[in-house]
Amino acid sequence: MRILKKVIILSISWIVFSTINSVTFSQENLLESNKALVTRYIENRMKEGIFSSSSKSYRVEFQNLATNVENQNNLLGSNNLDMAIPDRKDIIEVIIAEGDMVGVKYRITGTHLGNLYGIPATNKTIDIYSLAFYKVINGMITESFEMADEAALLKQLGKWLPKRSDNMTVIPDNKYPVREGSQVLMDILSVPEDTDTYINKVRVSAYKSKIRPFNQIFEGRPYEVYTRAGFYHLGISGNYYGAGDQGIGPSFSHDRNDKVSLIIAEDNIVMILFLLTATDIKGLFGNKPSNNDVAAWEAGVHTFEGTHWKEGWWFGDDIGLMLQINAPPEFMIY
């Protein structure tokens, strides 16, 4: 009888162990499959068989350029991207997945040989960063958010947004859902895990939360190496005009509130997307105050060694922020 009980207990234990390992293996397979799908899209730019028929795009790579095309019906005769940059090649530098989300940091390279949202061919080469998040359900992309470095693009082409006949500039709508950083942090803390990846995710989330656990109090920047500033190009303008390259901190300290869209982590990488909101009453990077409410997208790709925050890499929508604070084209230093 005792032998039978032992056999039953061992059998149950083996079933439980096998089930747990099977689930873990399936989850890992799913994450790798999702990353492979996004990689295929990034490298080939073919949506057929990759995007669902009801897929929702919250933002396209060159959103400020696309939004400011005067005639949205024919996009000023703009060629599609395959014709405007026919030798385009995207180079993935970072790709991670968690749950149904995939985050990717990549570079867009190529030669500007066609009309790009109203900018005639310049025959110049480009090499700019872009960052994107994709939601993948049942092997298809159902949601996307893409943000290319339009400031770098315009600098490399030696151009500004094409002038409209009505002299207007159009600020793109912010449609991607956001929440208070503290709400996102509480959700993460409610499902604890005993892994370095989880600890690192908590740390990045806490950095963008107004309410922080006692063990997540920061003095200055929490990372060892500040690889890139969020609004890098505006920082260059700030230095040029004598205002310094850290304008966001002092100018928005009175009411800044970073609202988080998502945060995902895998292995030693954590990626975050948030909407920087504030009121421009002090002037930014040397530009005169506009008194406008601003809401500009910024993302981060952060690298850890164990639980040590090694590198902080930030990437913001410089052009979108410039439009919102009424900065003139010449404010951008080429």
CA 199 centroid distance within chain: 21
Looking up tokens 């002090």, which residue turns up?
A: 282
Residue 297 three-state SS: strand
User: Shortest CA distance to 166 belongs to which of 293, 69, 62?
Assistant: 69
In tens digits, the chain (334 residues) has pLDDT values of: 555 444 444 454 444 444 545 545 587 899 999 999 999 999 988 888 899 989 999 999 999 999 998 876 555 445 567 789 999 999 999 999 999 999 999 999 999 999 999 999 999 999 999 999 999 999 999 999 999 999 999 999 999 999 888 888 899 999 899 999 999 999 999 999 999 999 999 999 999 998 888 788 777 789 999 999 999 999 999 999 888 877 787 788 889 999 999 999 999 999 999 999 999 999 999 999 999 999 999 999 999 999 999 999 999 999 999 999 999 999 998 8
- pLDDT the model gives residue 16: 45
Report all structural domains of the chain as residue ranges with CATH numbers, in order of start.
Answer: 26-157 (3.10.450.50), 179-331 (3.10.450.50)
Model confidence, pTM: 0.89
For 316, residues 6+ apart whose C-beta sits below 8 A from its C-beta are 230, 231, 232, 276, 296, 297, 298, 299
CA–CA gap between residue 329 and residue 334 (Å, rounded): 10
- pLDDT the model gives residue 242: 86
Residue 264 three-state SS: strand
